Amino acid sequence: MDGFDRIPDPLILFIFNSLSDVKTLIRCRAVSKRFNSLVPQTESLLLKVDCVISPESDESDTPFLHFFKTIVKSVHNLVSLSAKTHPELQNRPARSQNSPGQILRGFERIRDLVIELPAGDLKLDRNAVVKWRAEFGKTLKNCVIFAFRDVKPSTSTQIPAEFADLDFAGGLKLRVVWTISALIAASARHYLLREVVEEHEEIEKLVVTDKEGEGTLVMNKEGLAELRAAGVAQVSEHKEWAAHYRGWDQESNGSRTMVPSVRMRMRHVAKTELKSGAWLDGATLVVVRPTTIMCKDGVAEVEVDEEGQRVDDVEEDVAGDVNLALMAFENDGACGEAVQALVKTRSYHLEMNSF
């Protein structure tokens, strides 16, 4: 009996949960029969998508087609590694390996899952930054978006001259484009998770983020239960992933989760100075929450939020949006600092139909 054999199973599982990286854990399964039987019991997982670009990709690819091609390439590499070690995977068709759900089928007790993408989903103008955090259940619950056009380092207390003249109409259009783009990116990530949520009923928290820190999608225990209860669309893997290879169909409900009708509270400051002395150009904060209309005999009665609560109390509504914004970026350094300044400014209310 060697030293490893003396280590109790709970301690080994604690180590595996601390490792969490799926690729590393798959390799651990090849170490011994004991490891092979314990790895599937790991409860905390991190699935990192490699920064490998499919050779078929070209500059004409849309951001989302490029995104899905990257997912497919990375997961295929992971599954190929696992199949060499586990004969049962070799009998499955190669086509079904092209999804995150396939690689996770070897894990039986997932409680906390994080999927890290190699990059953000948005193609932005030079120097522009858009960051978002969205919470989902069966559909969007809320989304907080922070963006700015440029950052200027400055040691002077004077406002940079180039900030003096701004195209406010064009600026509003740009802010709306940022908002819609972030919502589409979030809904695309949510759609990607449906297979995983359906097959792993034990998951209690699911997060999708990216290395660039652009966007974070969060589903908690209640949201996951809500999605399962609503029923996951039964779409064959072949049709689902073939659709992504053909291109991103903006009109297809099969390419992403539909964004419901929403109300948006937008705050914008032409120039924001940070404690470091840098200036943010066009700092924008948008809080998005779904809006529905309660009807009786076909007659609209009262506007409510996704939890069925009245939203006619403007002060309470604003306070809720402020809390969402602060929590979304509370640990995000300079962005968190800018958000704290933005929530103190005047807000504008906008509405958008589902898409």
DSSP for 306-353?
TTS-B---HHHHHHHHHHHHHHHTTTSHHHHHHHHHHTTS--EEEEE-
Q: Mean pLDDT across the chain, nearest whole number?
A: 75
Q: What is the maximal distance between C-alpha atoms in the chain?
A: 76
Same domain, 70 and 187: no
| pLDDT confidence of residue 150 | 85
| pLDDT confidence of residue 49 | 78
Same domain, 36 and 160: no
- Tens of pLDDT, residue by residue over 273-289, are 888 888 888 899 999 99
Summarize the confidence of residues 233-246 as an average pLDDT.
39
Answer whether residue 231 is part of any domain: yes
DSSP secondary structure of 176-197: HHHHHHHHHHHHHHHHHHHHHH
| pLDDT confidence of residue 306 | 53
Same domain, 260 and 203: yes
Same domain, 178 and 225: yes
Answer whether residue 124 is part of any domain: no
Answer whether residue 183 is part of any domain: yes
| pLDDT confidence of residue 333 | 84
| pLDDT confidence of residue 299 | 43
DSSP secondary structure of 266-318: EEEEEEEE-TTS-EEEEEEEEEEEE-EEEEETTEEEEEE-TTS-B---HHHHH
* Backbone φ and ψ of 210, nearest 5°: -145, 160
Instruction: Quote the tokens at residue 148.
Output: 């700015």
Domain that holds residue 309: 129-244+256-352
Same domain, 76 and 160: no
Same domain, 166 and 230: yes
Q: Does residue 236 have a pLDDT over 70?
A: no
Q: Does residue 240 have a pLDDT over 80?
A: no
| % pLDDT > 70, the chain | 66
How many structural domains compose the chain?
2
Q: Does residue 348 have a pLDDT over 80?
A: yes
Answer whether residue 264 is part of any domain: yes
Same domain, 296 and 229: yes
Answer whether residue 89 is part of any domain: no
pTM: 0.74
Same domain, 76 and 145: no
> How far is residue 123's CA from residue 240's CA, in Å, rounded to a whole number?
24
Q: Does residue 50 have a pLDDT over 80?
A: no
Same domain, 138 and 104: no
Q: Are strands 112-117 and 205-210 parallel, antiparallel or unpaired?
A: parallel
DSSP run (H or E) holding 134: strand 129-136
* Backbone φ and ψ of 288, nearest 5°: -115, 130
> How far is residue 279's CA from residue 270's CA, in Å, rounded to a whole number?
10
Same domain, 147 and 8: no
- Tens of pLDDT, residue by residue over 92-136, are 444 344 467 778 888 999 999 999 988 777 776 667 889 999 999
Same domain, 169 and 103: no
Q: Are 243 and 217 in contact (CB under 8 A)?
A: no
Same domain, 230 and 327: yes
Question: Between 269 and 242, where is the model more confident?
Answer: 269
- Tens of pLDDT, residue by residue over 288-310, are 999 864 444 444 444 555 555 55
Answer whether residue 320 is part of any domain: yes
Max mean pLDDT range (76-85, 157-166, 187-196):
187-196
| pLDDT confidence of residue 94 | 41
Three-state DSSP class for residue 57: coil
Answer whether residue 155 is part of any domain: yes
> How far is residue 268's CA from residue 65's CA, in Å, rounded to a whole number?
31
Sorting pLDDT into bands at 50, 70 and 90, what band is 77? very low
Summarize the confidence of residues 333-337 as an average pLDDT.
88
Residue whose tokens read 């609209």: 300
Answer whether residue 88 is part of any domain: no
| pLDDT confidence of residue 46 | 95
Q: Are strands 348-352 and 262-273 parallel, antiparallel or unpaired?
A: antiparallel
